[in-house]
Structure 1
């Protein structure tokens, strides 16, 4: 079934408790892989999804990726303690564009280090709309080499989503 491979997401700033209830009920009804929500909604969704088989996902550094690494690590730890099973990390795009590749890779490594304490999936969002073709190749290589579980193309909050044209 296709829904078992898809996440159901609501990352809107005005997302209410009722919105989370609706999202979780739909995810359970259709057998979605996960719900992806803002970190402040994790405890509510954790309770709503208990024993459903639907995973709990949240975002780190969303939507700009411009938080300090320490802030992202602390946010990730709190999210994992609140029950998140998947983390969508927004790469620090500004630092990456400044060619601070080691810093960008170290940030991913810092979150991956949490796997010593928690079981979770780490997905890295590279925000492809903001990268040149050469930067996109470099970002893809970096994420692939990092040990992260997945690479994602966009937050959906930038100038555009994924595109066949760069």
Structure 2
């Protein structure tokens, strides 16, 4: 098994969040893309404004690294129209995979219809353009029951409206990595939350994002059944070391 083909190497901080200048932050993005090319990771996950740069760098080196980006990140509270518009721009810029943050706060308030419409609209757009789509549910903001309910809701919406051949292209993803939890509680993937997601989103694949910091933790997630791992420490994990980072 090639662990690198499970790893979505991720850098999603703005310059402000990273306490860098715009130029310095863009260089970090470039370095992340270059590392993904050199290490042959499955994917490099960057913010939408960097998709064109990633596409150019990857195409120029004939790399097989996939370009992923996030939509309505990190809160997921924009309108469906705004999400689709953002996704259409990312597709035009060269993104291969689109990770949508679902409106989990609306879901918590009982607006199941909105989540269904988000999933339908985003999936249609992705499949029409031959892209992989992922839905970030933000597990740290949800109770166990809510994780079960929203994973099932996404699964049922897909199964009722799309064919079996589409299922591998539609993921349920755990986290943004940016949710602020109280008292240092985990804000990313944990074994209990990923287990709930896998049990309730099957046959859709699951991406474990955030909180995976060692090769052993990555392998444990794969043993559970995840198909992708989002991490800002892809090389550290691939080298069998331990990351001190947060995502």
Within the candidate set 117, 128, 131, 2:139 is matched to 128
TM-score (norm: length of structure 2): 0.64
Give CA deviations for 1:83-142 in whole Å, capped at 9, x if unaligned. Answer: 101011101011101111111111111111214531100010100111111111111101
Equivalences for 1:16-165 in 2 at 5 Å?
16-50=25-59, 51-115=62-126, 117-147=128-158, 149-158=170-179, 159=181, 160-164=187-191
Aligned length: 166
Taking the aligned partners of 1:2 and 1:162, their CA distance within structure 2 comes to 17
Larger radius of gyration: 2
1:64 and 1:70 map into 2 onto residues whose CA distance is: 15
Q: 1:165 to 1:116 in 2, by over 3 A?
A: closer
Q: Which residue of 2 aligns with 1:2?
A: 3
The TM-score with structure 1 as length reference comes to 0.94
Superposed CA RMSD: 1.5
Q: Which has the higher helix share?
A: 2
Unaligned runs of 5+ in 1: none
Provide the rounded CA distance (Å) in 2 between the counterparts of 1:69 and 1:112.
12
Cα distance between partner residues in 1 of 2:6 and 2:88: 25
Extract unaligned runs of 5+ from structure 2. Answer: 19-24, 159-168, 182-186, 194-247
